[in-house]
Each structure stands twice: as structure tokens, then as C-alpha cells.
Amino acid sequence: NSVEKMIVSDERDRVVSDWIKLNVGGKHFVTSRSTLLAKEPLSMLARMFADDNNMYLMNPSVTDETGAYLIDRSPEYFEPILNYLRHGEVILDKHVNPKGVLEEAVFFGLDSMIPQLNQLIEEALSRSSNNQSLT
Amino acid sequence: NSVEKMIVSDERDRVVSDWIKLNVGGKHFVTSRSTLLAKEPLSMLARMFADDNNMYLMNPSVTDETGAYLIDRSPEYFEPILNYLRHGEVILDKHVNPKGVLEEAVFFGLDSMIPQLNQLIEEALSRSSNNQSLT
Amino acid sequence: NSVEKMIVSDERDRVVSDWIKLNVGGKHFVTSRSTLLAKEPLSMLARMFADDNNMYLMNPSVTDETGAYLIDRSPEYFEPILNYLRHGEVILDKHVNPKGVLEEAVFFGLDSMIPQLNQLIEEALSRSSNNQSLT
Amino acid sequence: NSVEKMIVSDERDRVVSDWIKLNVGGKHFVTSRSTLLAKEPLSMLARMFADDNNMYLMNPSVTDETGAYLIDRSPEYFEPILNYLRHGEVILDKHVNPKGVLEEAVFFGLDSMIPQLNQLIEEALSRSSNNQSLT
Amino acid sequence: NSVEKMIVSDERDRVVSDWIKLNVGGKHFVTSRSTLLAKEPLSMLARMFADDNNMYLMNPSVTDETGAYLIDRSPEYFEPILNYLRHGEVILDKHVNPKGVLEEAVFFGLDSMIPQLNQLIEEALSRSSNNQSLT
């Protein structure tokens, strides 16, 4: 289960290399290879960090001076994306615009997030038109 | 009491090593071993940093280049978790989604937080359905 | 399409130099040359990082000690600007003042953003006067 | 007055050492000794950084690799605490939970903040029960 | 106009030294000398970074290890202050307490901001008492 993946096992080298640093638009994120691979094997992030025998393998991007893979996208809207890969729930704070997260889900090819994000966008729209109709 | 634990005592080396750096999803946190251990001895964080004679001892994760232990979880929702370990209160800012904090409490095995977080989630739901029924 | 631009191709040197670091008011952003150029070729950012044969070419600003180009503007309001250059949508979080983003769009010469930002400003004004008239 | 304390005087060494770096829970803050001492001489921060002839003198905590004194508390809720020490006003942003700031004021022994924070907590409670009663 | 000031001219040395780093309460800001001087010549920031022939010249504060001038004030509320110096508009996000910005405007001697901030404070007060009277 999810706790195990953070333990240092005897095969220390293999485990260490399973930590992956990302530089998304200037902000650093740290995660594990299994988080990027498990949820959606055909997503861009899964393909970038997949095993060599994955037929959809993509080359990862270049890394910055700290070894973090560069990704030219919004860091703010990447946070709920990465949390979704960690635990499978779409969770947004109140002030976050779901349209911003939708753009990232589409870009990264995380198709399973899209219906939930579309629903959050509709709810926000109906709330806002309710407020209008109050006056 | 809580002030004492930050004082440099004569046994300086022991005290210094009681400060623990965590790298949660790319963000650094600093806390003390006693904060991680005191509140819930069977939680994952307590077991990672417990004394050797703790029978539930877990190996801590690997550290980054600054010596911070890597944890593949959300930094934003970790903040109220760590504050809870510091003073025992579940305190969330207005914009923070309690569902996000619940995911972390479950992951880290902080069972005593869960009833309060579930209540905050229900309150948010009833507020939102009240707003709906206004129209 | 947008995925391709992050792949390391055989011409590694060319691709690496297409990553651009910006230091906007003290905060670092990372993006790609194509993001800065594609959307509005006459904008200030496009002219600063354009090819030599662009007749509107501007000299880029000086860089800081990390190689990031210095820009004396608001980092907070630059984020939706850069996201717009990435995917073409004007997306603002709920708490962000659209007037702040408008100032940056005007400064950087991103004329296509301005009508949408003006509309967001008007909507915020009408919401606020609705609230007033409720009492 | 408050401007003077930032001027480099002829006694440069003395003034430089009056700047104090704090590492609160992983985030760095910079302030001056006089800010920490002036408002509440018996508070924990005042006693940690007081002159040697202060009879309530405490030993400061250990410092991190940048010379910042480590404090195992919430960085977010420390911000209004430090602003209070700078200018004497309790000022919270709209989204900040006053209960979080109260925990820090109690921990640091800033008794003069407590009545104002209790009032903000009561106001938030009555606002929330008003919202309930609307339905 | 404002674009020109960021161009590298032939007199490179002069232009480079016109970039100024500030460390406000622990957070780094980058701006230009002309931004600090142009709007209010008698403000504290203008006097700290003015030319030698300015009769109100103040000595700047000491710098940190990165060359940033130390200022013992709130970084959060400094952001709208610096944006005001950049473009002349008082623009606050929805969650920002205008009282916090007022404290900084008074400290830095930016008198032209004060009437607008007082108006924002009054508007927030009347909004909050309207909400009360709804119940």
C-alpha cells in the first residue's frame, strides 16, 4: 500500500531513483515514479517516466540545474493534478478556478479527471447565475 | 511544556538532532521529533521517527540533498496536519477544502483528526446546499 | 502539438536553449520560447525573445545570477498572463483582482487579453453593486 | 521612530547583528531585535533575544545552516504575529482562521493580542450562525 | 516609457546597477531604482535609493548575503505597495485586508495611497455591517 513505497528497502539505489523532481513553470515538486505511472498509464506523465518496455514511451523533458524535469505549465493548477495521481480524488480549494485545472488535465492526458472537473465548472456557473438572479 | 523543547540545553548534540526536516511534495517543513511522536504513537510519522525500542518502528524515507526526508504527499494539506501535531487543534483556513486534509490524515494514520474533519466536510456540504435552496 | 515541444530531440542544444527563465519582481518562472512567441508576435515578451530576423526585435533585459531575465512587474498577476500564453484562455482564481491582471496585459502588450479582462472587471463591479442593493 | 532602526549608522557591526533570521516551521522570516523586544518584554521571543541583563532571559533555539533560529510552529499564522510586533495592530486577511493565530499568540506569550483574537473568533462564529439562520 | 527601462543599453553597467533587490521580512523582491523613485520622491524608499544630490537622502539599510536590502516589514502587504509604485494604481485582491496595506503605506511615507486605502477600509466595514443587518 501507499506507505510501503516510501520505505528504504535493501535495494536502496533502485528506490532512490524512484523519486522524481519536476520543475513546473518555475516551482519544484517531488513525487515518486509509481505516483506518476499508476493512475493513467497513457497519460503524458506516465509515458515520460514509464519503464523501457512501455510501447508508448516518451522521452522526458530536459532537467534544470537541480535535476528536476522541466514542464512548461502552470504550477498552481498542477497541485490538484498531482494530488489526484496520489490518491485518486479531485479536490479543489474554494478559490481555485476549476477551468484552470481542466486545462492541465487535458494537457497531461488525464482523461478520468475531466468529467469531474466539468461538473465543478457547471456548479460554479450555476452558483454564479443564482447570485445574479437574487437581485 | 512546549517552550522548553526549543531551548539549547547542555546536551547540545542530542537536541540538535531532534530537529527534523521534511520535504513534502517539494516544500520544506521543519519540526521536532517530539512533535511527530507525541500525539499519535501509531501514526506513520511517529513510527518513522520513533526510538529504536518502538516495536512498530518503520524505516524513514530517503532524504534529499538538504537532509530533508522525502514524503510524496500534498504540501498544502500537510500544514494543518503538522499544526495539529503541534497543538492538538484541527484549524483550517476558510478557503481550504477539508476533504484534502482528510486524505492526508488517513494516509498518515492520524485517526484522532478524522471525526473533526468529517464534521467540517458535512458543514461545508450543508452550507452549500443552503445556498442552493435560497434560489 | 504542445507535448512535442518538451521532448529532448537529437538536436539537444537547440531545445535546451528554448527554455527561458524569467525573474518577475523577485519570483522565478520557467517557460519555453515558443510559449512567449506564439500567441502575440508583437507583444513585448515575443519581441524580447524573437528570432534575429524579427523586425520588431527588442533587446532582452539583463539576467540575474541564475540566468533569469529580470522584469520589474508583479509576479502574482503575471501567472494568469503566462497561462494565457500557454493555452489561450483567460483564467483567474476567485480572489484575484482582474484589474491587477489588466495592468500587466497592457504593460506586456497582450491586446487580445484586454476585452476579456475588462468584462471580468465589469462583472465584479456589478456583483458588488448587487450586494449593496440587497440591503 | 521606526524608520531610524533600519539605517546603517557608523557603528555598523552593532546594527547588523540586530537583524534576526527566524526559521518558523520551514519558512524564513527576517526582522530586527527591537521588533521582537519592544512590544511584550515577557513574551517568549523577547526573552530569547533580550539583553544579557534581562532576568527572564531564555536561551535561543539552535540555528539552521543559514543562521536562522529554528522555531517549531506554523509559518502561516506567525505572519500576523510578527506584523503585530512591528506596528501593534492585529490585522488578519479574510481567509485566515483567527483560531490559528490565537494558538501562536498563546504559545509565544503575546498576551495583549489575545482579547482581540477572541473577539475576531466570536465575530466569525456569529457570522456563520447568521448564515445558518437565513435558511 | 516603462518598456525602455528594462532594455540593456550600451551603457550596460549603469543599467544593471539600477536593479534593486529588497528582502522584506524574509521574502525577496526585485525592482528598479526608477520604480522606487518616480512616484513619491519624499517617500522612505525614494530617499533610500535616490541620487547623491537629493537633499533628503537616507542611508539604505544593510544587505543580506544575496545583496538584497533588508526591510523589517510585512512581505505580503508590500506587494500592492510595490505594484502601486510600478503603475500608480491601488489594486488589492479580494482576501487582502486593506488595513494591512495602510500600515505599510504609512510606514513607507506613500501619502498618495492613503486616501484610497481609507476608502477601501470603509467599504469593507459597510459591507460587513450590511451583512449583519441582513439577519
pLDDT in tens, C62-88: 999 999 999 999 999 999 999 999 999
Smallest Cβ distance to A91: which of B59, B64, B97? B97
What is the ipTM, given to two decimal places? 0.87
Backbone φ and ψ for B4, nearest 5 degrees, come out as -55, -35
Binned at pLDDT 50, 70 and 90, residue D10 comes out as very low
| Range with the poorest average pLDDT among B77-86, D73-82, E15-24 | E15-24
What does chain C look like in DSSP terms, one character per residue? -TTGGGS--S-HHHHHTTEEEEEETTEEEEEEHHHHHHS-TTSHHHHHT--TT-TT------B-TTSPEEE-S-HHHHHHHHHHHHHS-----TTS-HHHHHHHHHHHT-GGGHHHHHHHHHHHHHHHHHHHHT-
Chain D residue with Cα closest to E108:
D3
Mutation to test the B interface, candidates D21, D27, D45, D72, most B Cβ within 10 Å: D72
Q: For residues B13 and D74, which has the higher predicted lDDT (pLDDT)?
A: D74
- pLDDT tops 50 at residue B7: no
The pLDDT, as a whole number, for residue A135 is: 46
Give the closest-approach CA distance of C48 to chain E in angstroms. Answer: 9
Strand A69-71, strand B19-24: pairing: unpaired
Smallest Cβ distance to C30: which of A70, A96, A100? A70
The pLDDT, as a whole number, for residue D133 is: 56
Amino acid at site E92? L
Binned at pLDDT 50, 70 and 90, residue D6 comes out as very low
Q: For residues C15 and E39, which has the higher predicted lDDT (pLDDT)?
A: E39
Q: For residues D48 and B78, which has the higher predicted lDDT (pLDDT)?
A: B78
Interface contact flag, E19 C62, Cβ < 8 Å: yes
The pLDDT, as a whole number, for residue A12 is: 38
Size of interface C-E (CB pairs under 8 A): 76
Chain B residue with Cα closest to A135:
B135
A85-97 pLDDT tens trace: 999 999 999 999 9
Smallest Cβ distance to E93: which of C97, C132, C135? C97
- pLDDT tops 60 at residue C2: no
Question: Can you give chain A as a three-state secondary structure string?
Answer: CCCHHHCCCCCHHHHHCCEEEEEECCEEEEEEHHHHHHCCCCCHHHHHCCCCCCCCCCCCCCECCCCCEEECCCHHHHHHHHHHHHHCCCCCCCCCCHHHHHHHHHHHCCHHHHHHHHHHHHHHHHHHHHHHHCC
Chain D residue with Cα closest to E68:
D30
- pLDDT tops 50 at residue B32: yes
Size of interface A-B (CB pairs under 8 A): 77
Chain A residue with Cα closest to B69:
A6
Cell numbers 484575484: residue: C96
Interface contact flag, D134 E131, Cβ < 8 Å: no
Task: Check CB contact of B83 with chain D, cutoff 8 Å.
Answer: yes
Q: For residues B76 and D13, which has the higher predicted lDDT (pLDDT)?
A: B76
| Range with the poorest average pLDDT among A28-37, B49-58, D88-97 | B49-58
Q: For residues C87 and C10, which has the higher predicted lDDT (pLDDT)?
A: C87
The pLDDT, as a whole number, for residue A132 is: 59
Cell numbers 527534523: residue: B20
| Range with the poorest average pLDDT among C53-62, C105-114, E18-27 | C53-62
Smallest Cβ distance to C103: which of E6, E30, E87? E87
- pLDDT tops 50 at residue D11: no
Residue D128 has a CB neighbour count (10 Å cut-off) of 11
Q: Which parts of chain E have pLDDT scores under 70? A: 1-17, 52-55, 131-135
- pLDDT tops 60 at residue D101: yes
Chain B residue with Cα closest to A34:
B72
Give the closest-approach CA distance of C29 to chain A in angstroms. Answer: 4
Task: Check CB contact of A34 with chain C, cutoff 8 Å.
Answer: no
Smallest Cβ distance to C62: which of E8, E31, E94? E8
- pLDDT tops 90 at residue C4: no
Task: Check CB contact of B6 with chain D, cutoff 8 Å.
Answer: yes
Give the closest-approach CA distance of D95 to chain B in angstroms. Answer: 5
Query: What DSSP state is assigned to residue D96?
Result: S
C8-32 average pLDDT score: 74
The pLDDT, as a whole number, for residue B8 is: 38
Walk me through the domains of chain A, giving residue ranges and CATH numbers.
Answer: 4-133 (3.30.710.10)
A41-89 pLDDT tens trace: 889 999 999 876 666 777 778 999 999 999 999 999 999 999 999 999 9
The pLDDT, as a whole number, for residue B131 is: 65
Task: Check CB contact of A3 with chain C, cutoff 8 Å.
Answer: no
Give the closest-approach CA distance of B5 to chain A in angstroms. Answer: 28
* Touching partners of C (3+ C-beta pairs < 8 Å): A, E
The pLDDT, as a whole number, for residue E85 is: 97
* Touching partners of A (3+ C-beta pairs < 8 Å): B, C
- pLDDT tops 80 at residue C49: yes
C9-15 average pLDDT score: 39
B111-128 average pLDDT score: 94
- pLDDT tops 70 at residue B30: yes
Task: Check CB contact of D120 with chain B, cutoff 8 Å.
Answer: no
A104-130 pLDDT tens trace: 999 999 999 999 999 999 998 888 777
Chain A residue with Cα closest to C2:
A107
Chain B residue with Cα closest to A90:
B100
Mutation to test the D interface, candidates E72, E133, E135, most D Cβ within 10 Å: E72
Cell numbers 535495494: residue: A11
CA dist D15 and D10 (Å) reads 9
E88-117 residues touching C, CB cutoff 8 A:
89, 91-95
Mean pLDDT comparison of A92-101, C13-22, D121-130, highest-scoring range: A92-101
The pLDDT, as a whole number, for residue C17 is: 63
CA dist D103 and A38 (Å) reads 40
The pLDDT, as a whole number, for residue E1 is: 37
The pLDDT, as a whole number, for residue D64 is: 95
The pLDDT, as a whole number, for residue E50 is: 87
